[in-house]
Amino acid sequence: MLGLMQDWPLLSYKIIDHAAIHHGTRKVISRSVEGPIHTTTYADIRARSLKVAKRLDQEGIRLGDRVATLAWNTWRHLEAWYGILGIGAVYHTVNPRLFPDQIAWIVNHAEDRIMITDLTFVPILEKIASKLATIERYVILTDGAHMPQTSLKNAIAYEDWIGSVDGDFEWRFFDENTAAGMCYTSGTTGNPKGVLYSHRSNVLHSLVASAPDMLGISSRDVVLPVVPMFHANGWSLALTTPMMGATMVMPGAKLDGASIYELLNDFKVTVTAAVPTVWLMLLQFLESSGSKLPYLKKVVIGGSACPRAMTQKFQDNYGVEVMHAWGMTEMSPLGTVCTLKPDYADLSGEARLDIQQKQGHAPFGVEMKITDDHGREVPWDGKTFGRLKVRGPSVARAYFKEAESAIDKDGFFDTGDVATMDPHGYMQITDRSKDVIKSGGEWISSIDLENLAVGHPKVAEAAVIGVPHPKWDERPLLVVVLKKEQTATKDEILAFMQGKIAKWWMPDDVVFVDEIPHTATGKIQKMTLRDQFKGYILPTAEAAE
Ligand code: AMP
């Protein structure tokens, strides 16, 4: 027997309808790519999204067609997303930090028909346009006055493009499982893989992400998504924030410490989110300028492990609660958030920080398990490492155009992360399965060592890789970038780490470099680093031979 409730498909564009009707005057404030601050409302965003939809429809864009966006977080990008969603086309966010050839590969693989882009990226696109065979038109997110001379095919300024139609249009109606968005994984090896979100997965994910024990966003919040919309579905903030009716502040192209601080302060931002690199820049700015953060309540930090020192600084020096989060492109992206359940809520000082180092607990809709190499589940004791596997309505089951399923026979997706689970369900990433250092049959977490090393006051960034060793198979090599105008010795760094980790985890050597390579999403590129140090002979290896 079926239930007798209404069939109300979970279509992502209903989010902007809700925001416009129930929170219509709430503001969306952006730093425009042209420079000045721009302010609009959810009601206006919806009205202009309808124009985007009408114009796309006129151009012959149909259900399932891909429309690329290569753009910063601004109100125009938001309008483009909802316009695309409203006709059942697919927003394909392209990461501008990829190499131009990778961008071309992704656009061709996705068979994008229209490219919506910012002024910033016109020169890159002009260089690769001859390779982008499927693109029929380039829409530049600006007005006629700022429109550059360009060789891009059928290029038009966004304001002229939508200005040519009225907003008299109705969203299309289709199945909630229809594709909504697309984002290629940053993959450090091989070709990128396309993750294809559905309207249903987006809506369910946004509902879950906003819950009090997750990001906890309400209509009284002012949310600044520093994380770009082209990173892992923009951490879904372009959907979750309007769904909750919170004010939205969009940073545009300027993500440096001073620019982010200006937005946090001028617009009284209460919740913000980004990768650790962004927060490192902000903290450096705060320290050098002596500024405070009187309005900010919560900072969501994820994408890579949040160093303990960062959590401590935000909380102790600025009174801002750190919410460590973990997820991945394939998970829409939220997997866990480290908010404190009653079991840990009363902890303070170092004990509280110990828990906050963990990536957190899963919301409803994310099932997790950790297994050994034979697929057997290992205990949730907070110590035993295992491969982290996940299942849920907003987790990928396959990649775009790949025949093979991405899940096992029980429906679980292997995240490629190695983690522990504690008895209260808190997950802690120990490493990427391919980055963990295998020393004498035991595993050493490169992430733990990196976190510890960046706690040294002179260290700006640290990376640890496994280097072949004749006796132990692999041993850790610590690669360090020092803060500006600092000098340090290997012994100084090692002395700082001594006693804070098991003796056999201590790096066998420390090298100082000017720069550590990063992927387009800001993660340390361990593959490149391993290549860079190929053939490196550890002092301990010489001794062992
Ligand atoms: P991406 O799909 O590019 O967002 O990358 C997802 C991967 O980033 C995950 O599988 C993790 O390896 C890593 N990651 C994300 N958040 C964290 C975190 N808080 N701590 C450690 N690693 C993380």
For 61-112, how does the pLDDT look when each residue is reduced to its tens digit (9 = 90+)? 999 999 999 999 999 999 999 999 999 999 999 999 888 988 999 999 999 9
Find the 385 Cα to ligand 1 centroid distance in Å: 17
Average pLDDT of the chain is 95
Q: Distance from CA of residue 334 to its chain's centroid?
A: 9
What was the pLDDT predicted at 336?
98
Q: How confident is the model at residue 330 (pLDDT cuts 50, 70, 90)?
A: very high
Q: Cβ(55) to ligand 1 under 6 A?
A: no
- Can you tell me the distance from the alpha carbon of 199 to that of 332, in angstroms, rounded to the nearest whole number? 11
- Can you tell me the distance from the alpha carbon of 113 to that of 83, in angstroms, rounded to the nearest whole number? 15
Q: Cβ(521) to ligand 1 under 6 A?
A: yes
Q: What is the DSSP string of 406-453?
A: SB-TTSPEEEEEEEEE-TTS-EEEEEETTTSEEETTEEE-HHHHHHHH
Cβ atoms of residues 338 and 426 within 8 Å: yes
Per-residue pLDDT averaged across 468-493, rounded? Answer: 92
What was the pLDDT predicted at 447?
87
Which atom of ligand 1 has the smallest separation from the CA of 232? Answer: 4
Q: What are phi and psi of 495, to 5 degrees?
A: -60, -35
Q: Cβ(236) to ligand 1 under 6 A?
A: no
- Can you tell me the distance from the alpha carbon of 504 to that of 423, in angstroms, rounded to the nearest whole number? 27
Find the 275 Cα to ligand 1 centroid distance in Å: 10
Per-residue pLDDT averaged across 38-52, rounded? Answer: 98
Residue of 182, 205, 214, 328 to test ligand 1 pocket, by largest number of atoms within 8 Å of CB: 328
Per-residue pLDDT averaged across 326-354, rounded? Answer: 97
* Closest residue to atom 7 of ligand 1, CA basis: 328
* CB-based burial, 491-517: b 16+ in 10 Å, e otherwise: eebbebbeeeeeeebbbbbbebeeebe
What was the pLDDT predicted at 502?
82
What was the pLDDT predicted at 97?
84
Structural domains of the chain in order of their starting residue, each with its CATH number:
13-26+41-198 (3.40.50.12780), 365-432 (2.30.38.10), 437-544 (3.30.300.30)
Spatial CB neighbours of 394, under 8 Å, sequence gap ≥ 6:
197, 201, 202, 204, 205, 208, 331, 332, 334, 365, 366
* Closest residue to atom 17 of ligand 1, CA basis: 304
- Give the relative orientation of helices 75-86 and 237-244 as an angle to the nearest 10 degrees: 90
User: pLDDT tens, 272-297?
Assistant: 999 888 998 899 999 999 999 999 99
Tell whether the model's pLDDT for residue 168 goes beyond 60.
Answer: yes
H/E stretch holding 224 reads strand 222-225
Q: What's 405's DSSP letter?
A: B
What was the pLDDT predicted at 433?
79
Q: Cβ(232) to ligand 1 under 6 A?
A: yes
Residue of 150, 367, 443, 528 marked catalytic:
443
Tell whether the model's pLDDT for residue 404 goes beyond 60.
Answer: yes
Find the 327 Cα to ligand 1 centroid distance in Å: 6
Q: Cβ(76) to ligand 1 under 6 A?
A: no
Per-residue pLDDT averaged across 494-513, rounded? Answer: 93
Per-residue pLDDT averaged across 291-311, rounded? Answer: 94
Q: Cβ(445) to ligand 1 under 6 A?
A: no
* Closest residue to atom 6 of ligand 1, CA basis: 328
Q: What is the DSSP string of 310-336?
A: HHHIIIIIH--EEEEEEE-GGGSSEEE
Q: Cβ(185) to ligand 1 under 6 A?
A: yes
What was the pLDDT predicted at 185?
87
Which atom of ligand 1 has the smallest separation from the CA of 186? Answer: 3
Which atom of ligand 1 has the smallest separation from the CA of 519? Answer: 3
Neighbours of 431 (CB within 10 A): 23
Range name among 64-78, 336-350, 522-536 with the lowest pLDDT average: 522-536
Q: Cβ(526) to ligand 1 under 6 A?
A: no
Q: Cβ(304) to ligand 1 under 6 A?
A: yes
* Closest residue to atom 4 of ligand 1, CA basis: 328
Which atom of ligand 1 has the smallest separation from the CA of 329? Answer: 2
- Can you tell me the distance from the alpha carbon of 239 to that of 45, in angstroms, rounded to the nearest whole number? 13
Range name among 139-143, 167-171, 305-309, 474-478 with the lowest pLDDT average: 305-309
Residue of 434, 438, 483, 500 marked catalytic:
438
Per-residue pLDDT averaged across 335-352, rounded? Answer: 98
User: pLDDT tens, 131-164?
Assistant: 999 999 999 999 999 999 999 999 999 999 999 9
What was the pLDDT predicted at 521?
77
- Can you tell me the distance from the alpha carbon of 232 to that of 396, in angstroms, rounded to the nearest whole number? 12
What was the pLDDT predicted at 109?
98
Residue of 79, 330, 461, 474 marked catalytic:
330
What was the pLDDT predicted at 276?
87
Q: 185 catalytic, yes or no?
A: yes
Q: Cβ(324) to ligand 1 under 6 A?
A: yes
Residue of 69, 185, 270, 336 marked catalytic:
185
Q: Cβ(432) to ligand 1 under 6 A?
A: yes
Per-residue pLDDT averaged across 169-190, rounded? Answer: 88
Cβ atoms of residues 101 and 128 within 8 Å: yes
What was the pLDDT predicted at 544?
63
Find the 415 Cα to ligand 1 centroid distance in Å: 9
Q: What's 540's DSSP letter?
A: H
Tell whether the model's pLDDT for residue 25 goes beyond 90.
Answer: yes
Number of alpha carbons in the 13 Å side-chain half-sphere of residue 352: 16
* Closest residue to atom 8 of ligand 1, CA basis: 303
Per-residue pLDDT averaged across 236-240, rounded? Answer: 98
Find the 129 Cα to ligand 1 centroid distance in Å: 32
Q: Cβ(446) to ligand 1 under 6 A?
A: no
Q: 330 catalytic, yes or no?
A: yes
Q: How confident is the model at residue 186 (pLDDT cuts 50, 70, 90)?
A: low
Q: 461 catalytic, yes or no?
A: no
Could you give the C-alpha distances from 471 to 123, 468, 506, in angstroms and in order? 52, 9, 16
What was the pLDDT predicted at 307?
87
What was the pLDDT predicted at 187?
56
Name the nearest CA neighbour of 240 among 306, 172, 300.
Answer: 300
Which atom of ligand 1 has the smallest separation from the CA of 359? Answer: 19
* CB-based burial, 344-379: b 16+ in 10 Å, e otherwise: beeeeeeebbebbbbbbbbbebbebbbbeeeeeebe
Q: Cβ(251) to ligand 1 under 6 A?
A: no
* pLDDT above 90: percentage of residues in the chain: 86
